[in-house]
Amino acid sequence: MHTAVHSSPLELRMAMGVDLDPVNAVIERAVMTWKLPERVKRLALPSYRYTGYDLKCLHLVVAVDSASGIVGVAAWEPAAVYDCPQRRRGMQLHGIYVDPAWQQRGVGSRLLAAAGTAAQEKGFDGLLVKAQAEAEGFFEKQGLQKLPLLRPDRDYAHRYWLDLAAVN
């Protein structure tokens, strides 16, 4: 793990087209730390990369350090009602990716808070996350509740919900 002290404040802002290469580099570095076989990570990685089309369809936010550039990214959009508990309206967080050198420094928490704020501002009931297995601890620490597996043949195994009414 990188141990340098990062002291400059982070800026959160909407991603732009020029950000796609650095965003995808952060995602690649993050994915390559997952506890999966190397071949699986290499094969899965293209599906995690963002494109110009994603900028039109998703709300993509970057965490920027003035010295290091983009160090984190999060993306979200409205969730399908059938994926949300009790058919509530939710915003689906597609992912939070933090450069490994910046993990454990509050970047992911800030990006998650930004997603929650955006969901509240849009009138959603909660934030839905379909997490990687290694990320479960992060989401649990942030107060998200694991959703039961109601349809094992179709439900994502690691689904979490942040009830925005309970946050207020």
pLDDT, tens digit (0-9, with 9 covering 90-100), for 5-27: 444 589 999 999 999 999 999 99
Burial environment of residue 96 by CB neighbours within 10 A (0 to 12, 13 to 18, 19 or more): buried
Question: Which pLDDT score is estimated for 70?
Answer: 98
Question: Which pLDDT score is estimated for 8?
Answer: 57
pLDDT, tens digit, for every residue of 85-128? 988 999 999 989 999 999 999 999 999 999 999 999 999 999 99
Question: Which pLDDT score is estimated for 1?
Answer: 34
pTM over 0.75: yes
pLDDT band at 134 (very low <50, low <70, confident <90, very high): confident
Question: Which pLDDT score is estimated for 92?
Answer: 96
The four Cα atoms 168, 163, 111, 26 give a dihedral, to 10 degrees, of 170
pLDDT, tens digit, for every residue of 26-48? 999 999 999 889 999 999 999 99
Residue closest to 92 by CA, chosen among 73, 77, 75: 77
Query: Contact at 8 Å (CB) between 23 and 30?
Result: no
Which letter does DSSP use for residue 35 in this model? S
**Structural domains in the chain, sorted by start:** 10-167 (3.40.630.30)
User: Residue 60 CB: number of other CB atoms within 10 A?
Assistant: 21
Residue closest to 127 by CA, chosen among 135, 139, 138, 110: 139
Q: What mean pLDDT is reported for the chain? A: 90
* Residue, of 156 and 54, whose pLDDT is higher: 54
Q: Are strands 59-65 and 90-98 parallel, antiparallel or unpaired?
A: unpaired
